């Protein structure tokens, strides 16, 4: 059964009102492994409210706020949700995320691109995150690869295919990175990260992971995403979350809890505020994040 382009593009997503506390903010940081080194005082402001200046929220916490849940699984979508893949994540921070507050998430489907019957389709959803007063905090875009829904535009009248998003820039291949960041991911990271709202058993249940073709539960893509963003904060933003204003990546391969993440970062030669990055797992010699792009404000 082909998906209904017009239904998805006009689908009603009720606003998601969420109150989050400093405890939620600390749990988000701790679930990523921040604080695993008790002597790393640079990570402490994200995990402990008693530091000078108070608790800070990681900028990527925006992606778990105002979240509408795994709505692709709902029957009205017509999506083959068992074959979805998270392809890319894009984020624009308009104002720093507070360590506690009230937010509202507004979700909509902005693009659906038909790649062909044997090639799948691409769906882009956007979430606008506002504070209680209606001020824009962040704009979040998720690119989803619909492996089982290709060819929809040829199976029904009036089923168009949208133009794709602009391609993320490639990382430099002609020079070494300007920064390299290494982070050892604790083995329990996936079990902790799921407490931020993504309860997909793929990240917790070994039997389900094996049935999906993985040797063991994999780490959430958005956890890997957040760790790469934290690498940027460490290497390029002096641990100041207010300086990171944009972060985009393409997911290339899964990460397993307990592995090491090496994030390589290049300065853009034409604009010092722009960065390019990729991330890899050296144990398996595999690139897990590609075509990364970030914007970091100067001091």
Pick the catalytic residue: 3, 112, 185, 218? 218
- The CA distance from 263 to 282, in Å, is 11
80 neighbors 149 (Cβ within 8 angstroms):
yes
Q: In b/e form, how buried is each residue of 234-246, taking b as 16+ CB within 10 angstroms?
A: bbbbebebebbbb
- The CA distance from 63 to 249, in Å, is 13
Pick the catalytic residue: 198, 220, 248, 276? 198
Pick the catalytic residue: 33, 66, 105, 221? 221
- Write the CB contacts of 253 (distance below 8 Å, at least 6 apart in sequence): 281, 286, 287, 288
148 is catalytic: no
Q: What are phi and psi of 264, to 5 degrees?
A: -110, 135
Pick the catalytic residue: 24, 120, 203, 265? 203
Residue 35 burial (CB count, 10 A): 16
130 is catalytic: no
Q: Is 173 exposed, middle or buried (0-12, 13-18, 19+ CB in 10 A)?
A: exposed
Of the candidates 159, 57, 65, 79, the one whose C-alpha atom is nearest the C-alpha of residue 107 is 65
158 is catalytic: no
Of the candidates 71, 84, 85, the one whose C-alpha atom is nearest the C-alpha of residue 13 is 71
292 is catalytic: no
Torsion of CA 228, 230, 235, 237, to 10 degrees: 130
Give me the active site residues, please. 198, 203, 218, 221
């Amino acid at each position: 059964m082909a998906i209904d382009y017009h239904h998805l593009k006009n689908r009603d997503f009720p606003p998601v009102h969420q109150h989050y506390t400093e405890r939620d903010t600390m749990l988000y940081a701790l679930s990523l492994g921040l604080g695993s080194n008790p002597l790393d005082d640079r990570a402490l402001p994200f995990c402990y409210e008693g530091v000078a200046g108070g608790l800070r929220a990681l900028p990527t916490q925006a992606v778990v706020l105002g979240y509408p849940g795994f709505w692709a699984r709902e029957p009205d979508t017509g999506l083959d949700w068992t074959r979805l893949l998270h392809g890319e994540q894009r984020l624009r921070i308009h104002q720093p995320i507070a360590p506690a507050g009230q937010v509202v998430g507004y979700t909509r489907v902005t693009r659906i691109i038909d790649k062909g019957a044997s090639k799948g389709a691409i769906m882009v959803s956007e979430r606008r995150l506002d504070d209680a007063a209606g001020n824009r905090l962040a704009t979040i875009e998720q690119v989803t690869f619909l492996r089982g829904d290709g060819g929809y535009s040829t199976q029904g009248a009036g089923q168009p295919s949208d133009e794709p998003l602009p391609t993320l820039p490639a990382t430099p291949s002609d020079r070494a990175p300007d920064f390299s960041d290494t982070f050892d991911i604790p083995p329990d990271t996936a079990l902790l990260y799921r407490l931020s709202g993504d309860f997909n058993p793929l990240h917790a249940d070994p039997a389900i992971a094996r049935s999906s073709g993985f040797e063991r539960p994999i780490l959430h893509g958005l956890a890997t995403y957040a760790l790469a963003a934290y690498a940027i904060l460490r290497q390029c933003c002096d641990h100041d979350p207010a300086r990171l204003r944009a972060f985009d990546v393409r997911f290339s391969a899964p990460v397993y809890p307990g592995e090491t993440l090496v994030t390589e970062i290049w300065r853009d030669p034409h604009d010092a505020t722009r960065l390019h990055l990729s991330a890899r797992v050296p144990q398996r010699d595999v690139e897990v994040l590609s075509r990364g792009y970030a914007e970091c404000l100067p001091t």
